[in-house]
Amino acid sequence: MRARVEQLPLFPQKGARGERGPVVAEVRAVNGASSLGAAIGAFHDHMLRQGFSENTIKAFLADLRLLGRHSGLNVSISEFGNRELNDFLTWMLHYRGVPCSPKTYARRVTTLKVFFSWLRETNLLARDPAAPILHNRVVTPMPQILHDDQIQQLLSTTRELMTGEHPDARPHVLVSLLLQTGIKKGECMGIALSDIDRSNPVAPILYIRYKNPRMHHKERKLALSPDLIPPLDRYLAAHQPRQNLFECTARNLEYVLHDTALLAGLKDGVSFEMLRWTCAVRDFREGMDQNRLRKKLGLSKVTWYETAEKLKKLAEPAL
């Protein structure tokens, strides 16, 4: 079994509901008798504070305004039950007169579930009327992952490349880093040398940071295996980067993964996305708490819905 490498908290825990403090403090302007319009405004502020992406915020607001068009923005949120929400979905599908694709329908169901779940979590509603709604999501292809024997083939190849005729530790550092942390390609390219904390040689840490203030909610610190440090030193000595860990283009690192996969005999190749999912599945199988895994991957609660379902399928035993 591989050494457990888990995410560490980046900031002190301040409240019972997580690192951002109690969510009740975010909704002082609304109560259970507030109108749908007022609740949508408070939810918009909540999404901004939680760092939802701009596209997600726009989509959610548009979906909720459509609910307001059907039910009325002045109706009290306490008047919404499962029947009212199903009536809205039926109207949207069959009586609105505007085509609604399966993908759009699935997103609007997600909007209802996230919005009313938030109202329930903040004690603005006694129950969640959207919870019973069936969520028939659009089927997307299952991501590719590396199996245990393929991981060993790949790492065996990267180790050989460190000791060959023209030794190069970069493939091993790159592959090991992605398998341990599950970071995205953009996050990998953004790693500064100062983001690697080696003050504790048996527990090195990688900080994932973002220059864009709107993305600060994705910042986190991840534990690294101490076994990565010797290859890292070899890489640094050979390539001598000045500021960032990888001072090349993302396409260049993609070529590194492609060439290494060929040498390892992996006909389907290796990509950033494949190694990210492989890391997530391994952590899932080893029993990492799902909320901890979500934060390790830098995912919002909304994105986690579909990701968790795929992880369960990828991790379950073969029939």
Question: Mean pLDDT of all residues in the chain?
Answer: 88
Look at the chain and count its residues.
319
CA 225 centroid distance within chain: 22
* 103, two tokens: 């993908």
Q: Supply the pLDDT for residue 319.
A: 66
Provide mean pLDDT across the span 194-213. Answer: 94
Q: What is the pTM of this model?
A: 0.66
The model's pLDDT over 230-260, given as tens digits with 9 standing for 90+, comes to 999 999 999 999 999 999 999 999 999 999 9
- Which H, E and C letters describe 207-256, residue by residue? EECCCCHHHHHHCEEEECCHHHHHHHHHHHHHHCCCCECCCCCHHHHHHH
Own/partner contacts of 80-89, CB < 8 Å, gap of 24 or more, are 80/36, 80/116, 80/129, 81/129, 82/129, 82/130, 82/132, 82/133, 84/129, 85/112, 85/116, 85/129, 85/130, 85/133, 86/133, 89/133
Residue 130: its pLDDT value, please? Answer: 94
How many other C-beta atoms are found inside a 10 Å radius of the C-beta of residue 145? 20
Q: How confident is the model at residue 137 (pLDDT cuts 50, 70, 90)?
A: low
Is residue 119's pLDDT more than 60?
yes
* Domains within the chain, CATH numbers bracketed: 23-121 (1.10.150.130), 142-315 (1.10.443.10)
Tens digit of pLDDT for each residue in 16-36? Answer: 333 444 444 444 478 888 999
pLDDT surpasses 80 at 266 = yes
pLDDT at 14: 39
- Dist. CA 78–CA 124, nearest whole Å: 8
The predicted model gives 129-137 an average pLDDT of 81
What is the pLDDT, as a whole number, of residue 30? 86
Q: What phi-psi label fits residue 231: left (phi over 0), alpha (psi between -120 and 50 degrees) or beta?
A: alpha
Q: Which residue has the tokens 């919002």?
A: 300
Q: Which residue has the higher pLDDT, 6 or 269?
A: 269
